[in-house]
Chain A
Amino acid sequence: MERMNPRSRSDAYGSRINRSHSTFVANVLPWGSILIASILPVFMIASALPMIPPMGFLLLLGWRLVRPGLLPVWAGLPLGLFDDLFSGQPFGFGVLSWSLAMIAAEIVETRFPWRAFWQDWFTGGILIALYLVGGWLLSGATPTMSSLIALVPQLLFSILAFPVVARLVARLDRVRLTRWKRTA
């Protein structure tokens, strides 16, 4: 007898028979990945220039723009609070900027419900630029021209990193919706 294709009853998220999504992974993964990304820059080399993109903020934007509707509008409050613990900016900057970014993304989405990726990139790029310049203004130190110029490489890196982060978020989203749980 001809053998049936073993993958015929599965989709990108695994077998559809006998399996279901794990609610734990589906709920925790977006938040957990943003928290981990907030800590990541601490591990980097103690360079004399700010070079590393703000990974936590990028991942927040990634989840918000690539998977709209997943993170609630208020997600900037708890996540920003956690980012403040590690970012080196004055405490409260993360809470403020992440909350504002979430609200801004919400407004943009109301205005342009149908978007292509490059529009998301544009939104993300503008939010990243505002975040970094805001961080320069409110860093607790006197903002000088030279430290603004020093911001340019980081700004470029961050904006160029957005598509990569968006792909990463898409990958994580597949993991998130994989049917892990075996149902009887």
Chain B
Amino acid sequence: MAPTGQRRSSYSRRAQYNLFTGYIIAGIGALIGVVLLVLSLFQPNLFDWARNGANDTIAPATETTATVRTESKSWWDSITGYYRAGSKNAALKREMEIARIRLEEAAAVKQENARLKKLLGLEDKQVEPVAVARLVGSSAASTRRFAYVGAGKDDGVEIGMPVRSPRGIVGRVLEVGNGSARVLLLTDSESVLPVRRAKDEVVAFAEGRGDSLIRIRLINLGINPLEPGDLFVTSGAGGYYRPGIAVAILTEKTDDGGLARIVSDPAATDFVAIEPIFEPDAVVALQTPVETELTE
């Protein structure tokens, strides 16, 4: 393509100054970028207000597209359901029968649990979600894995609250705007979550890797007892998440734990519940430096 004539600023002083000022502003722009970037790398919450305002503004639009997206997905699901419907139906029937038996057993265990807890004087409190909202958007083009939910400060959402879908943990609230909140997804490489194996007391950390997998790092090293297919649930340590919510399923064994897939893929999730922090006191205690004494 032919070069534009704009570079040759001719003898006009005005044109020369305009061009020169353009380069200066571009250079200053890059410098401003460096300053802002350094500030936000060391103070990640410094510009929350700007981002939250922006996300509140576009929340109505994202809400609409989220609705359309989930509806078109369910429409597609119902079409693909016809593929090999017969054999699938038979398999589902078998699974259903077994599931029904297990459900009855679980009900019995639950009842026994309640009886034993009553015996010990423990109180079983029902957790009411703070808000139920749609997963309206995400940082789809960035290396970081964030999602946006359509509920914010006005609904009582606070920073640190766990976000879960009917299947399991989705993530944790990172920033709160008036009508929207930013969620740190489990797969983000900054996300760490204390978990335990569902069937016994093997405790580990579930760290996001940024590539849709989760790294399970065992706390007690030694012989690695994990097997592919193991389900990990939240352990309740740290005070943020309620214990016993599904997190990930192990797919591959490594030296210090394994690689796991999340149970609740945010891409397959429409509605999420934002729950209160499990033990707010524990969270405060963990954030207090050792030198300062806790009140109480």
A140 & B50 in contact (Cβ 8 Å cutoff):
no
A-B interface pairs (CB < 8 A), number: 215
Stretch at the interface among B206-214, B226-234, B276-284: B206-214
Chain B residues lying within 8 Å of A47, measured Cβ to Cβ, are: 138, 140, 212, 266-267
* Residues of chain A within 8 A of B129, CB atoms compared: none
Given contacts A91-B51, A95-B36, whether A46 and B144 have CB atoms under 8 Å apart is no
Interface-located stretch among B102-110, B151-159, B181-189, B235-243: B181-189
Given the known interface contacts A86-B54, A139-B143, the answer about A91 and B37 at a Cβ–Cβ threshold of 8 Å is: yes
Query: In the complex, A136→B145 CA distance in Å?
Result: 12
- Whether the Cβ atoms of A50 and B141 lie closer than 8 Å is yes
Q: A139-B143, A147-B189 are in contact. Are A92 and B40 (CB under 8 A)?
A: yes
- Specify the chain A residue showing the minimal Cβ separation from B24: A74
> If A48-B262, A136-B143, A141-B189 touch, does A97 touch B138 (CB 8 Å cutoff)?
no
- Interface residue count on the A side (C-beta < 8 Å): 67
Hey, which chain A residues are within 8 Å of B209, CB to CB? 144, 146-147, 150
Assuming the contacts A48-B267, A91-B46, A150-B210, asked whether A140 and B138 have C-beta atoms less than 8 A apart, the reply is no
Compute how far the CA of A147 lies from the CA of B143 in the bound complex, rounded to whole angstroms: 8
A106 smallest CB distance to B (angstroms): 8
Shortest Cβ-Cβ A-B pairs, 8 listed = A88-B139, A92-B36, A96-B33, A147-B210, A150-B211, A77-B29, A48-B212, A95-B33
Q: Which residues of A contact B (CB under 8 A)?
A: 39, 41-55, 68-69, 72-74, 76-77, 80, 84-100, 102-103, 106, 109-110, 113-117, 120, 132, 135-136, 138-142, 144, 146-147, 149-151, 154
